[in-house]
Amino acid sequence: MRIKTLRDKKAALLKEAGELTAKEDANTITTEETARLAAIVDTELPAVNSQIAREETLMDERRSMESASNLNGQTEEEHASTVPAEPTKKFGSLGEQMQAIVAAGRKLGVDDRLQWNAASGMNEGGGADGGYLVQQDFVPELMRRAYERSDLLARTRQLPVGPNSNGVKINALRDSSRKNGTRFGGAQAFWTGEGQQKIGTDLKFRQMDMRLHKLTGLLYATDEMLDDSALLGALIPEIFGDEFAFKIDDAIFEGVGSGMPLGVMKSGALVTVAPESGQGADTVVVENIVKMWARMWLRSRGSMIWTINQQIEPQLMTMKIGNTPIYLPQGTIEGEPFSRLLGRPVVPTEFNSQLGDKGDIVAMDLQQYLTIQKGGIKQDISIHARFINDETTFRFVVRMDGQPIWDTPLEPFKGSDTLSPFVTLGERA
């Protein structure tokens, strides 16, 4: 039918626009793609919306005719059955949608508004092969909460993943040294006199392989909770906003890279500064901070942060070089939400090691850390897993990965101390 063709066309345009918008957000969009996005938004979508509105008006007029009327050989009922009725309104809240999902799972009927949120292959009963997607309006809310509560994720360099892909492979130069013949994977320039032969160079590459991993959250909702959509709508974003942010940041900090992101602390690019000779256990001294700063890659100094276990704060507050404090507590600079150490933000986290252990203080530039994510949050339900307890199981899934862009520290052009965007202090036993 014409209305279905138009709706399919609209869905395809929205999908294409979403992919282009993701590229725009990641600053990877080309001039041609920018023009294409503008054409979709300014011309093609308004045109198809106008056509859909016209067809819907005609359909409404047909439905107003007598029920026995024949439309091109079809009864009104037969005609209506061939046209999927798009819902006239969406769910008002996440809790309201969850209640509808439970009703569908219990064979009490499927709300029309759910049909447009069913995953491919979904049947009425839910289950592992399908599921309902969180209504598009709710996805940004859940993820916004996760980003707002994230200390690390929001600072990373983020890359979108295409609709038919489960990851990305990125070619990167083998750039582990600034010595002649090794910069930028082997690029080298020569001063060449008149008539002298020019010298060629070869570039060496490595491949970053990033694959989407699942981060899953489960919620067991009692029948009493399901009766209160307002409670569910308020509770779930709070719970999973915090939990997703915590688990993602924990993986960015020290994930092992198998089935989860590879963290900064497990990276081959991490530089560890040795403590001072005779330094006491569970201490941080000004010499530690200065030496960590000296090992930070020069171009990362303007975007790095210090992450710390807050047990360190009392020692930082008294640090000086000569008579000059190097630590400015939060509130010293008006409007500054963080304390400052050598001019850079200090972010206390739950992920830094306890005082005295390696990782209790880490200098990191997360613009040198890459994350990928596909889609929003997928939501599935089961009324069977906890049936005996009168509970319904809700599952939320996010697919993402992350790893440092650097795989080794950088050998400087002159000098022997390697440099990196990721620097920590060794254990003080």
The residue ranges of every structural domain in the chain are 1-83, 131-186+203-228+241-429
The residue-averaged pLDDT of 405-429 equals: 92
The residue-averaged pLDDT of 329-337 equals: 80
**Is the pLDDT higher at 340 or at 127?**
340
Per-residue pLDDT at 120:
39
The pTM (predicted TM-score) of the whole model is 0.65
Per-residue pLDDT at 200:
58
pLDDT in tens, 272-322: 999 999 999 999 999 999 999 999 999 999 999 999 999 999 999 999 999
Would you say residue 121 has pLDDT above 50? no
Query: Taking Cα atoms as reference points, which of 162, 203, 145 lies closest to residue 396?
Result: 145
pLDDT in tens, 99-110: 777 676 666 667
Per-residue pLDDT at 419:
94
